[in-house]
Each structure stands twice: as C-alpha cells, then as structure tokens.
Copies of this chain bind each other. A is one copy, B any other.
Amino acid sequence: MLEYIAFDADDTLWHSEAHFGEAQAQFRLLMQQYLNGSYEDRYLQETEQRNIQHYGYGVKGFGLSMIETALELTQGRISPEHIRFLVNLTKELLAAPVRVLPEVEAVLDELSGDYPLMVITKGDLLDQETRFLRSGLSEYFRCLEVVSEKNPFTYSRILRRHRIRPERFLMVGNSLRSDIWPVLEIGGQAVYIPAPGAQEPLPMDDSTPGQYVRLGSIGQLPEWLEARLLAA
C-alpha cells in the first residue's frame, strides 16, 4: 500500500532538456562565429559543472555560465550585443511555454483520485513554481517541493515533513541519480521512466540498496500500480 506518490518534473511531466538543448544550439552557433568552428559543447558544460557549487541548478545559473564561457572562449573578444543576446536567451528560457509530455495529464487525472501526489524538483524556486502553475497540472498535486539537490537527506526531510513512511513512498522520475537511487537508499520505492531518446543508463553497481521498476512510458504507471495492488 502506498501513502504518497511523488513525480519529478523536468522531463518527467514536461519538456525541459529540449529547451536547454535549443539554447545550447544558439550558443554553439554564436561561439562558432568567434572560434572558427572549433567550439565544443563540453566547454559550456564544464563551466556549468564548476559553477554548480555557487549557482545550484536552474536557468539563472545556466545564463551566468553561458556569459562566463563566452568571455573565456573568445578571450574577451565577444561583443556586448552578443552578451545581451545571452541575457535575452536566459529570459526566454524562463518564459518558455511549458510543454507537458504525452499521457501525463490522463495519468495524473486517474491517479490523483487514488493517491495524494506531489512534485519534487530541482532548480530555481520562482522558475519552478511558475512552471508548475503554468503547466495546468497543479490541481492534481497536493504540493510542490523545490529542492537544491536530490539526495537521501532531502528526500528524508520531505518524508518527515509530510509524515510519510519511506516504504509507502513511491518516486517516479527520469533520472537514476536524482530520482531513483537516493529514494531506494532511504527505503522508498521508485519507478524509472527514461525520457524519450535518452541515453541508456549505466548499470547499477552492486552497492545499490534496492530494486527499482523501469517502465517504457508514464502511461503504463496506472496499470502497473493496479497489478501490484492485486498481487499484494
């Protein structure tokens, strides 16, 4: 029996990587003008990784990292108009329409009658809150939890706060590292639904603290839950 089901948001409920991917493509085009085609996407990713400790996850940090990368790679030759272009690109990412993934709304409509649902997501606080509201999905959820990192500690804190027993908590998400492993580690349950077109994940090592279920799409979730109930 489950007391609560939680969903990751970005690329579980709505598109996210696609928007970042479009921004990265624009950034790539811009950098190639300055670098005679020798730009590689990893330059931006390395700046982002280095800055996570300062900025955390989210669009604003991504924007600041684009500007920093551009200054570095062009050795200061980037024009101010192009810096302004990067500031605008950041704002466009924040204002981008929320594109809900297929089957999501029907699944939430069905499950919210049987279980309390919540969203647990990383990123900028205001950005994730407005995205949640603009998605049109907020009515299906009891609450939204925006966290700076998804690790066993943050999941434990959320479960304590809502008085949920770990063994009766199910997390659904597209990231093994953020949505699945830390939840298994605190004794919770997890359903892994890879984003369409995502790379095959690395196999878990032997220290993995439990098992998770993998579904091909979120549309299979209600049936899986029902079969589980019948088997119990």
A residues apposed to B, CB below 8 Å: 51, 54-58, 60-61, 63-64, 67-68, 71, 74, 76-81, 83-84, 87, 90-91, 94-95, 124-127, 129, 143, 146-149, 161
- Are B126 and A148 interface neighbours, CB within 8 A? yes
Identical chains bound together, number: 2
Q: Could you tell me if A78 and B80 are in contact, using CB atoms closer than 8 angstroms?
A: yes
* A54 interface neighbour in B68, B71, B91, B129, Cβ under 8 Å: B91
Contact between chains at A148 and B161 (CB < 8 Å): no
What is the predominant secondary structure among interface residues of chain A facing chain B?
A: helix
Which of B63, B68, B161 contacts A84, CB < 8 Å? B68
B56 engages A71 (CB within 8 Å): no
Cα of A108 to Cα of B191 in the assembled complex, Å: 43
- Structural contact, A90 and B64, CB atoms closer than 8 A: yes
- Chain B residue numbers with a CB within 8 Å of A56 are 124-127
Task: Tell me how far the C-beta of A43 lies from the nearest C-beta in chain B, rounded to whole angstroms.
Answer: 16
- Bound complex: CA of A74 vs CA of B80, how far in Å? 10
Given contacts A60-B55, A125-B56, A125-B146, contact A76 B68 (CB under 8 A): no
Complex Cα spacing A76 to B82, Å: 10
Whether A71 pairs with B80 at a CB distance below 8 angstroms is yes
